[in-house]
Structure 1
Amino acid sequence: MNRDSNAYTFIFATIMVIVVASALAIAATSLQPMQAENVRQEKMQNILTTIGIDVERAEAAEQFNKYITEQIALRADGSIDKDVNAFNIDLAKEVKKPVEDQLFPLYKASVEGQNFYIIPLRGAGLWDAIWGYISLEDDVNTIKGAVFDHKGETPGLGAEITQSWFEERFKDEKILNDNGEFVGVNVMKGYSGGNNKDDNAIDAISGATITGDGVTDMIKDRLAYYIEYLKTQKVNVALNN
């Protein structure tokens, strides 16, 4: 075949596309197990971070099994689905379902004799999805820690929700008001409460109002489905003491 012909060029280009595509497909398939394991370890790492356990990703599984005492899949009515592994629940898919069909994963942890409840979060920022984890102390009111992440928030603005200085603002904040009613935590623009941990509010990120509102809504919307179950846990703790 004439190498200068259009037919030769077309055939050569087609063969190269097939070869490269096949190589990329093989590489992607072979890397899938490693990528899945990295995602699993990072998830464990984030859950542990909310209760003050900072570990390298490679050590996350071992420490997760050490501190996480129970994994629960709740229904919207507060009942437990014992046939579902809470760790495998994909919130990105769950939040698209009707509430009555959703599952709500919950992790119980124990660190040096103190119990914690860790709740996964999922919501919407300015440009795309935001998510994270928040842990509550035994009183099911005081926040122990929080971790946030995002898909496409603006660097230097909404993307700052991943920074430790923002996440630390939630530590010791309350999710119930003085009357014991669930109100969540308001990420408030122009907040002037200083270090007040009892006003259910923290200072927002400058220039990221919509993302901050997304965090506010995410916490309130997701935790609302856990409150009744958590109150039963609080009663059990009181009875046991």
Structure 2
Amino acid sequence: MNTNKNSYTLIYSIVMVVVVAFLLSFVSSALKERQTANVELDKKKQILNALQIDWAGQDAGALFDKYIVNGLVINSDAKVLKESKDATFNIEITKEMSKPLEQRELPVFVADVDGETKYIVNLAGSGLWGALWGYLALDSDRNTIYGAYFSHASETPGLGANIAEKPFQEQFKGKHILNSANEFVSVAVMKAGTRADGMEQVDGISGGTITSKGVETMLYNSLVQYDKFFQQTTEGGNN
């Protein structure tokens, strides 16, 4: 074949595109299982973070299996639809939150920490530049916050991105999401020196007001779905 012809160049280009496409497809397929495993492990680490479990230097997967003893899939009326750790783990909360409330399947992880029951729920929202997400762990009264974990896609380093740091997250420990009348109110994220009416609060990130308010909105919108579940104590409701 005459390598100086345009036809040669065209055929050569087509062959190279096909070969490269095949190789990329092969590599993607070969790595898919590992990528999925890494995503699942990262999710388990985030849930452990909400439970205040230090997994550094340890097998996070084994710790997750140790502390997460059950999983519930409930609806907005607090009816248990499924009781399975796997089913609970596989729910994508952002997809559920796009559905009408009565059609949502809401995940609740049940943990045993030093003999005490904790409930962990998913959080999803948006900040200044992109998605926010996290997990909130509650004591057995389904009211007192045991621990919180937040993360983000693209908030500003040193400002809004500080929601992913422990000093911000640890403020939530011991706060209550129900008021004295046992009504759901969530937790406010306020500028230092200001006060929220009728609800407990934490200090927002200095210089990260929009992201801080994004966390506040995420908390309310994510938790209000579970309103009836929170009304049920472990003594009187579904476990």
Q: Same fold (TM over 0.5)?
A: yes
**Is the Cα contact below 8 Å between 2:107 and 2:121 reproduced in 1?**
yes
Distance 1:44 1:57 in 2: 15
Distance 1:96 1:38 in 2: 26
Report how many aligned residue pairs link the two structures: 233
Q: Which residue in 2 is equivalent to 1:81?
A: 81
Matches within 5 A, 1:80-229: 80-82=80-82, 85-191=87-193, 200-229=200-229
Distance 2:157 2:17 in 1: 36
Distance 2:106 2:3 in 1: 62
Q: Secondary structure at the match of 2:233?
A: helix
Q: Which residue in 2 is equivalent to 1:43?
A: 43
**Is the Cα contact below 8 Å between 2:76 and 2:227 reproduced in 1?**
no
Q: How far apart are 1:45 and its partner, in Å?
A: 1.5
Q: How far apart are 1:2 and its partner, in Å?
A: 2.5
- After superposition, give the CA deviation of every residue in 1:206-241 in whole Å (9 maximum; x if it has no partner): 22222211111111111112232233234439xxxx
- After superposition, give the CA deviation of every residue in 1:23-71 in whole Å (9 maximum; x if it has no partner): 1111111111111111111111211221221214871222122111220
Q: Closer, same or farther in 2 for the Cα pair 1:25/1:57, shift >3 Å?
A: farther
Distance 2:68 2:236 in 1: 19
Q: Closer, same or farther in 2 for the Cα pair 1:83/1:190, shift >3 Å?
A: closer
Q: How far apart are 1:83 and its partner, in Å?
A: 7.0
Distance 1:36 1:138 in 2: 32
Distance 2:178 2:79 in 1: 22
Moved over 4 A (4+): none
Q: Closer, same or farther in 2 for the Cα pair 1:173/1:191, shift >3 Å?
A: farther
Distance 1:96 1:181 in 2: 25
Q: How far apart are 1:191 and its partner, in Å?
A: 3.9
**Over the residues paired in the alignment, what is the CA RMSD in angstroms?**
2.2
Q: How far apart are 1:106 and its partner, in Å?
A: 0.3
Consecutive unaligned residues in structure 2, runs of 5 or more: none
Identity among equivalent pairs (%): 40
Distance 1:163 1:14 in 2: 50
Q: How far apart are 1:192 and its partner, in Å?
A: 5.4
Q: How far apart are 1:99 and its partner, in Å?
A: 1.4
Higher mean C-alpha displacement, 66-75 vs 153-162: 153-162
Q: Which has the higher contact order (CA 8 A, sep 6+)?
A: 2
Q: Secondary structure at the match of 2:66?
A: helix
Q: Secondary structure at the match of 1:233?
A: coil
Distance 2:94 2:15 in 1: 39
TM-score by length of 1: 0.88
